[in-house]
Amino acid sequence: MSYVPARLRDLTIERAGGCCEYCRVSQNSSDVAFHVEHIIAVSHGGKTVEHNLALSCLRCNLYKGTNIAAADPVTGEPTFLYHPRRHRWSDHFRLHGAIIEPLTPEGRATALVLRFNDQERVEQRELLLKFDRYPCPGPD
């Protein structure tokens, strides 16, 4: 784990509006603190700088790990994952109820690696939807 200075941590949390920048769950809907994560892992040469940090829920961060790419499940082609600083969420994903539907190769690779639509995650989002607590109105 790489140290993130308080100033960068605060900036990342504020910029994300307290939302996971991958699955759009709110920090307020979680008992576990969200992670300020390196989009490009330090092990892949990523730096601890503003444009390489994102706010991530525990599940998204653990599933993502140091991954920066995966095979697109439709084409089998190597594809970079969704990058919250370079991409707009709505260009790569859309919500259909509690299901996160990928729209692009990057979206499909990310949904696969981060397991967006595993049953337990969908059920959690369905419950949050019932209480009008999903999706988090974070930046796009």
Interval 24-73: pLDDT, tens: 999 999 999 999 999 999 999 999 999 999 999 999 999 999 999 999 99
Nearest Cα to Cα of residue 99 among 73, 74, 119, 75:
119
Residue whose structure tokens are 């990342």: 12
The pLDDT of residue 139: 65
- Tell me the per-residue pLDDT of 110-126, one tens digit each, with 9 for 90 and over: 999 999 999 999 999 99
The pLDDT of residue 137: 82
Measured CA angle at 57 (ends 54, 59), to 5 deg: 125
